[in-house]
Structure formats: structure tokens, C-alpha cells
A and B are shown apart, each in its own frame.
Chain A
């Protein structure tokens, strides 16, 4: 099976090259047979990549340690689950997995468009095959072939890095990759539009769902990564401005900007070149993210390798794509003229434009900070990292402005807002924001940045809730519906608008949570069994924690565990019923790693209590089950509002799905136009 997979990967190389050439040629000559062949080659490449991936998985499941990749990321004792997910545990498999997902999305795209949008499809097929070809070339020729064999067969593999043995780590990379690869489809349509000359908003309308799908996976994937860091890295944080975290944030920022700016093009026929640039930039950043993770150019907790060849290949590919697209945009520049101009500074258009500038500003600063070690190495010969303070200093103000715009955007009028329009819609929300700030101050909150964030959040939430309320009320009044039904119909009649607002609510919830970090507390104790310590929450209540004792288990290599120390702590809040929490140290057999920490988390809506077993007083004594060696260093963190990040993400996902869901009205309207030739106004109701 594995050898068949290896051959399949080799066969996919000429097939992808063939498909690429025929896609462009078919588009240029308008020959349907060439186009059909190009489209079929996409299915073929996808099928071959399935075989190749199955080959890698078979090698993992069959403990075929003669393969370098399997020997490096697995061993006999590894749990079956992690053998199955071994495909994306390391660099080589990840690249294959990337190509596989791209093959999947490309096939879906070609299949769903087999009878429509035919003027785009030849070039779309050509572009998709170009990118598939690139990844196949990387896999085969950049010293990252997952099928590379060792000269000997090791008795066992080196096993999987223990930090990666966490379920979030198994779903976080695929989710991000889904986001990265899905964005290739809008990019392909954009290039096709440049090639076939249909430069109105059509390519945007055709790919709106793809854009949203990609954005959904990107957002959720990033939050999954935060969740993994929070649970597994054992220091209580969820974001460290690590290069790879940043690399996944970059395309998210530009994709978010793109999602907003396409609305101006659709509504007002403006920003055409800008949108082309954003789609190109986002696509390049998804490749850049893959490149950064996989090249190991910058030190990061994620980096898999330190190989220069692959770096050069990625850089030249990105450079060529950039050059080709810039030439195409310049060539089409006369057709990309704006149909309208911004009429007023106070208008929804300019709010969108500010949103774009802020997002791009954030993207630029993150990019700069991420690349700074390389830039500094170029000049001084030393890698200097800028660290979280830099990113925070730049991005907190940008984030606050963005948050404010989330409140301003929905109610400011298109074209030009009058003073009356602003007064009418902003008076109440501004008052609510101010009242929130004052009340929180009186309740004892003194951290300025957090206060400002919460106050703006209250303003934004008031605006959005008022929107929902006014819409529901108007609908209930006019259609004579009950409020629940009116609310439901309101959303289903314009999913895009109301789904968008729901996403905004999710974003606000996350901002509220981020500001909560200002009130994190960190308490360290050295405790013996039976000791009771008390920790005060910023919300005013007190936790009392009783250290019950340490239990050691000596593994005999099962699940690669050498030993495991579990500290049990019972927690009660304000003298309420006690609850048991555990935190662990684990020593794995297969890596020369420090013992790993497993944290204990107790979540309530307001805050998380986060326990870390920092160190054992006497590890050897504990291993001998010496009753006097049960003392530990216990770190107790209180993390206010952290749970809101996950709720906010859920809200954001629901909102995106609402916006994505095919609108019943529009489908019906489309059929009506097609069948009965009814007035085109159908689309407008």
C-alpha cells in the first residue's frame, strides 16, 4: 500500500502539469475538450493524492520504521489515535495533507461548477493545478518526501513529541489547513477573472461561500490553537505572539479585511484593485504561513525543520505568483476603474475603508514583528526577537479602534450620514458605554485599558442588540407576526446581514475576554498534604484549596509513560461544596524532554481556576513512594473571563454558518427568474 502511495505521488506530477497546461490553453483557445481534460485531471490528482496519503497512513499503522517520517513521528507504543493523525504530525506529512485538502476543495469546486460559470472554469482549473503542482514538486524534490527510506530498519521509532499528544493538537492543524486551502478557490476565481476579463463583482459573488468557509475554518482553527496552548503548554496563556501563531493570524487579518471590502465593491462598484490585491495577499499569506511553519526559519514552538532548500522553493513560488498577478492587474487596470467615489467621510463606505486600513495595519505590524529576527540577523548577524510587548503595544490600540468600528458600521448610513442620523442612532449606545465604564469603576475596576475595552464593548453590543430589536419590531408590526417568528424571519430573509452581526457579537465577547487578562492573578505555594491555602478572586469571592496528596504511578512504557505524578487538590468556593481537581507531571520515555505538565482547570462563566503542578520537592523520593516526599510547588492562577473566548468563538462560528447558509428566498427567486421569466425585482424582496 505504502509503495503504491509513493508511485501515486509520482504519477500525480505529470498529471498536474498536464492539467495546468490544458486549463490555460483551453481557456485561451476556448476548446471544450481541453477544458474537460483539465477538469478531469483535477479529480485524477485528488484520487492519486488520496492513494499517497493512504500510503503514509498505512506506514504509520503498520509501524513501518524504514520510512524516515514514520520513524521520526511514531513508535510501537503510540496510541492508535495518534498513529491515525500521524499524517499531519510533522512537516512532510503536513505538506502532503495540505495538497490532499487542496485536491479535495479543487474537486468540489470543479464538480459544483460543471454546468455553470463556464467562462471562469478553464482558468480556475489551470490555477488550481498550478498550486497543486507546486506542492507535489515540493514533496518530491525539496528533501521532504514522506516516502523517503532509511538505509536500515530501526527496531522502534522515536515517538511523537508529548506536547502534540493532545486532542486539540490533532484537530487544530487540519482546521487551519482547511482554512488555508479553501482560500485558494477565491484566489483561483480572481485570477480567472483577470484572465477572462469579467472584472465586475461576479467572481466575488461566485466565491462568497468559499471565502466565508475559509474564514470560518481559519478563525476556528486559530482558536483551537489557543485552546491547545491554554490546556497543554502549562503556563496559563493562550497567545504568545509566536511566529507560527502570527503566521496563521496574518491571512486571517487580510481575509477579514477582504470580507468587508468586497461589500463595497458589490454595493458601490468601488475598490476593485484593492480587492484583487487583498485576495492575492491573503492567498500568499496562507502559503507564507505554511512556509514559515515548515521551514523552521524562525525559532518557534511549532517549527518542524531547519532546511533552506524548501525555503528557497517556497520563496521563489511566492515571488512568481506575486509577479504574475501584479502584471495581470496592471494589464487590466483600465477595466478595474472605480464606478463611484466615496461621498463623505461619515458614511458606511468610509467605515469599511477604515476597517480595512486598521486590519492591514495590524497585519503589517504582525508581519514586521514576526520577521524582525530575520531582518535583524541580516543587519547585525544576530536574531533578535521583539516579543509580546511590541505586538501588544501596536495591536491593542488597533484592536480598540476596530472594536469601535464594529459598533459604528451597522448604523451609519451608506453614502453620507447626516448629523441627525448619527445622533438618532448613537446617543443611547454611547450613554450605555459611558454608564458601563462608570459602574465598573465604582465596582473597583481600575485598569484603564480593560475599562476602555469593556466600555466600548457595551457600546457595540447596545448597537447590535438595538439593530436586532428594531428589525424585529418593524417586522412584527408590518407583517403582524409574533416577535419570535418575526425575529426568525428577519434573520432568514437577510442571512448575510444578520449572520454578520452575530459574528460581531462573537468578536465582542472575545474582546471582553481578552481584557479580562488584565485581572489575572498568579499565586505560588509550597504545600504538604493537608495544607490549606486561600486565593482571592478579583470578583470578590475566595477559593480555599486543600492539597490532598500526591499519587505516583510508574509506567512500564505503556503509552510511552515512564512515570506520572498526580497531585490532588480539593477546591471550595466561599466555603461551598468541595470539588476535586488534579494536576500532573508526566515523564515520557521516548524523548529527552523535561517532565510535561498537565494542568487542572475549573471553569465557571466568570473565570477559570487554573492549577499547575510546578515542581515536586523530591522527585526521587516520590518515585520511591517515600511518605515524606509529597511536598510540591503549586501554582494557582485565576483567569477572569477566559471562558468567553470559547463562547465567543462558538457565536462567531454560528454567525458565519448563518451567513453561509443558502438563502431560501434567493434560491426561490433564482428558480423563478429562470423558469417563469418573472421580473428581476424578485431578487430585491
Chain B
């Protein structure tokens, strides 16, 4: 008797638990969350990470000057394209969802990627995204990302 009571209780609890959302109309969110990267954002991130890797390989002495420059030129062009595509898609979606600050930030970064940033120590012009100066190895974090 106790056994069947136990079984009935378990079954009833399970049924209540899984039917409640449907009966009472409790909805799980199906919305995209704010911190979820969009497709273009993801691509932008990959492009920038690839730039970082090239920097690393060069600094660690795995790439020589010539290979480094040619790879970096390619990757910079790609990063630029990814940034622009991302900006484009945000415009299409009706304005930046993270706010105008980021819009401005990206626009600024784009110009800097084109123009390059000068190293405070030796004045060598580096593309933005460089963590370190390609000529003297000085840290660029503050110099190009104010």
C-alpha cells in the first residue's frame, strides 16, 4: 500500500512539474542574450585573435621580419573587413545595441587600423591590435588603446 502511494506521489509530482509551464503559460526565454556574440562579432574576434597570434609568433622569434610583415598585412586587411562588416550589420539591425559609445570606438579603431599607431618609445608605426611594438618590443597597450 505504502509502495503504491509512493509511486503515485512520484508520478503526480513529475506530471505537475512538467505540465505546469504549459498549463500556467510560464515561458522560457528564447531571446538572444546581450552578451552573446553575433556572427559578425565572432568573425571580428577571430580576426583580431589571429593578429595577436602573429604578433606572438614574431616576438617569440618564430617568424622572421619578412614573413611577419606579409602575414600581418593580410590579417590586418581581414580584420578591417570584419570590423566593417560588423558595423554594417549593426546598422542594418537598426543601431548599435551596445550603445553609441561602441559605435564611436569601432570607427576610431578602424581609422587607427588604417593609419597605424606610433610607438611612444621609438616612433615605429604599428597597426592597431598590436600589443607590442614590432620594432623595439615596447608595450603598446596604453599607446594605441587610450
* A674 lies within 8 A of B35 (CB): yes
* A471 lies within 8 A of B137 (CB): no
Given A413-B57, A414-B53, A681-B48: A19 and B105 interface contact (C-beta under 8 Å):
no
Q: Tell me, yes or no, whether A51 is within 8 Å of chain B by CB.
A: yes
Task: Please measure, in the bound complex, the distance between the C-alpha atom of A122 and the C-alpha atom of B74, giving whole angstroms.
Answer: 40
* A474 lies within 8 A of B33 (CB): no
Task: Please measure, in the bound complex, the distance between the C-alpha atom of A31 and the C-alpha atom of B21, giving whole angstroms.
Answer: 11
Task: Please measure, in the bound complex, the distance between the C-alpha atom of A314 and the C-alpha atom of B26, giving whole angstroms.
Answer: 37
**Interface size grouping (class) on chain B:** 35 or more
Residues of the A chain whose Cβ atoms lie less than 8 Å from the Cβ of B22: 33-34, 37
* B3 lies within 8 A of A200 (CB): no
Task: Please measure, in the bound complex, the distance between the C-alpha atom of A36 and the C-alpha atom of B24, giving whole angstroms.
Answer: 11
* Residues 26-47 (chain A) with a chain B CB within 8 angstroms: 30-37, 39-41, 43-44, 47
User: How far apart are B14's CB and chain A's nearest CB, in angstroms?
Assistant: 5
Most A C-beta atoms less than 10 A away, residue of B32, B48, B128? B48
Chain A interface SS verdict (over half): helix
* A48 lies within 8 A of B33 (CB): no
Task: Please measure, in the bound complex, the distance between the C-alpha atom of A11 and the C-alpha atom of B6, giving whole angstroms.
Answer: 13
Most A C-beta atoms less than 10 A away, residue of B14, B17, B52, B106? B14
Residues of the B chain whose Cβ atoms lie less than 8 Å from the Cβ of A474: 56, 59-61
Task: Please measure, in the bound complex, the distance between the C-alpha atom of A420 and the C-alpha atom of B67, giving whole angstroms.
Answer: 8
Given A36-B27, A413-B57, A421-B67: A115 and B42 interface contact (C-beta under 8 Å):
no
Task: Please measure, in the bound complex, the distance between the C-alpha atom of A116 and the C-alpha atom of B36, giving whole angstroms.
Answer: 8
Of A1-9, A146-154, A544-552, the segment with at least 4 beta carbons within 8 Å of chain B is A1-9
Residues of the B chain whose Cβ atoms lie less than 8 Å from the Cβ of A602: none
User: How far apart are A370's CB and chain B's nearest CB, in angstroms?
Assistant: 39
Task: Please measure, in the bound complex, the distance between the C-alpha atom of A79 and the C-alpha atom of B57, giving whole angstroms.
Answer: 58
Given A11-B11, A202-B42: A425 and B129 interface contact (C-beta under 8 Å):
no
Residues of the B chain whose Cβ atoms lie less than 8 Å from the Cβ of A683: 45, 48-49
* A15 lies within 8 A of B18 (CB): yes
Residues of the B chain whose Cβ atoms lie less than 8 Å from the Cβ of A32: 26-30
Q: Tell me, yes or no, whether A605 is within 8 Å of chain B by CB.
A: no
Residues of the A chain whose Cβ atoms lie less than 8 Å from the Cβ of B86: 680
Task: Please measure, in the bound complex, the distance between the C-alpha atom of A114 and the C-alpha atom of B129, giving whole angstroms.
Answer: 35
User: How far apart are B124's CB and chain A's nearest CB, in angstroms?
Assistant: 15
- Scan A200-217; emit 1 where CB is below 8 A from any B CB, else 0: 111001000000000000
Residues of the B chain whose Cβ atoms lie less than 8 Å from the Cβ of A678: 105
Question: B25's closest neighbor in chain A, by CB?
Answer: A33
* Residues 81-119 (chain B) with a chain A CB within 8 angstroms: 86, 98-99, 101-102, 105-106, 109
* B62 lies within 8 A of A425 (CB): yes
User: Which of A18, A116, A117, A200 touches B42 (beta carbons < 8 Å)?
Assistant: A200
User: Which of B6, B36, B45 touches A684 (beta carbons < 8 Å)?
Assistant: B45
Task: Please measure, in the bound complex, the distance between the C-alpha atom of A118 and the C-alpha atom of B32, giving whole angstroms.
Answer: 6
- Scan A469-491; emit 1 where CB is below 8 A from any B CB, else 0: 01101100111000000000000
Task: Please measure, in the bound complex, the distance between the C-alpha atom of A285 and the C-alpha atom of B96, giving whole angstroms.
Answer: 45
* A41 lies within 8 A of B48 (CB): no
User: How far apart are A569's CB and chain B's nearest CB, in angstroms?
Assistant: 53
Given A33-B26, A266-B46: A478 and B18 interface contact (C-beta under 8 Å):
no
* Residues 669-684 (chain A) with a chain B CB within 8 angstroms: 670, 673-674, 677-681, 683-684
* B26 lies within 8 A of A36 (CB): yes
Q: Tell me, yes or no, whether A222 is within 8 Å of chain B by CB.
A: no
User: How far apart are A203's CB and chain B's nearest CB, in angstroms?
Assistant: 11
Q: Tell me, yes or no, whether A267 is within 8 Å of chain B by CB.
A: yes
* A40 lies within 8 A of B42 (CB): no
* B105 lies within 8 A of A679 (CB): yes
* B59 lies within 8 A of A8 (CB): no
* B30 lies within 8 A of A30 (CB): yes
Q: Tell me, yes or no, whether A393 is within 8 Å of chain B by CB.
A: no
User: Which of A418, A674, A680 touches B45 (beta carbons < 8 Å)?
Assistant: A680
User: Which of B18, B31, B63 touches A40 (beta carbons < 8 Å)?
Assistant: B18
* B41 lies within 8 A of A680 (CB): yes
Given A4-B6, A36-B21: A470 and B60 interface contact (C-beta under 8 Å):
yes
User: How far apart are A22's CB and chain B's nearest CB, in angstroms?
Assistant: 8
Task: Please measure, in the bound complex, the distance between the C-alpha atom of A414 and the C-alpha atom of B71, giving whole angstroms.
Answer: 9
User: Which of A33, A44, A674 touches B14 (beta carbons < 8 Å)?
Assistant: A44
User: Which of B7, B48, B67, B105 touches A418 (beta carbons < 8 Å)?
Assistant: B67
* B50 lies within 8 A of A267 (CB): yes
User: How far apart are A510's CB and chain B's nearest CB, in angstroms?
Assistant: 27
Q: Tell me, yes or no, whether A119 is within 8 Å of chain B by CB.
A: yes
* A18 lies within 8 A of B18 (CB): yes
Residues of the B chain whose Cβ atoms lie less than 8 Å from the Cβ of A51: 10
Q: Tell me, yes or no, whether A685 is within 8 Å of chain B by CB.
A: yes
* Residues 407-433 (chain A) with a chain B CB within 8 angstroms: 411, 413-415, 418, 420-421, 424-425
User: Which of A34, A424, A473, A680 touches B44 (beta carbons < 8 Å)?
Assistant: A680
* A677 lies within 8 A of B62 (CB): no
- Scan B118-146; emit 1 where CB is below 8 A from any A CB, else 0: 00000000001101100001010100010
Residues of the B chain whose Cβ atoms lie less than 8 Å from the Cβ of A679: 102, 105-106, 109, 145
Residues of the B chain whose Cβ atoms lie less than 8 Å from the Cβ of A200: 39, 42-43
Question: B28's closest neighbor in chain A, by CB?
Answer: A36
* A48 lies within 8 A of B59 (CB): no
Question: A45's closest neighbor in chain B, by CB?
Answer: B14
Question: B41's closest neighbor in chain A, by CB?
Answer: A680
Residues of the A chain whose Cβ atoms lie less than 8 Å from the Cβ of B128: 681
Q: Tell me, yes or no, whether B19 is within 8 Å of chain A by CB.
A: yes
User: How far apart are B97's CB and chain A's nearest CB, in angstroms?
Assistant: 10
User: How far apart are B73's CB and chain A's nearest CB, in angstroms?
Assistant: 12
Most A C-beta atoms less than 10 A away, residue of B56, B60, B131, B137? B60
* B62 lies within 8 A of A411 (CB): yes
User: Which of B30, B57, B62, B129 touches A35 (beta carbons < 8 Å)?
Assistant: B30
User: Which of A33, A35, A413, A478 touches B63 (beta carbons < 8 Å)?
Assistant: A413
* B109 lies within 8 A of A681 (CB): yes
* B46 lies within 8 A of A267 (CB): yes
Residues of the A chain whose Cβ atoms lie less than 8 Å from the Cβ of B43: 200, 269
26 pairs from A and B in contact (CB 8 Å cutoff):
A4-B10, A8-B10, A35-B27, A37-B19, A47-B14, A115-B33, A118-B30, A118-B31, A119-B32, A198-B39, A267-B50, A269-B46, A413-B57, A413-B63, A420-B67, A421-B62, A425-B62, A467-B60, A470-B62, A471-B56, A670-B35, A673-B98, A674-B34, A677-B99, A678-B105, A680-B102
- New A-B contacts (11) at CB < 8 Å, excluding given A4-B3, A413-B62, A414-B53: A11-B7, A32-B27, A44-B18, A114-B28, A116-B33, A200-B43, A266-B46, A418-B66, A471-B56, A478-B137, A674-B34
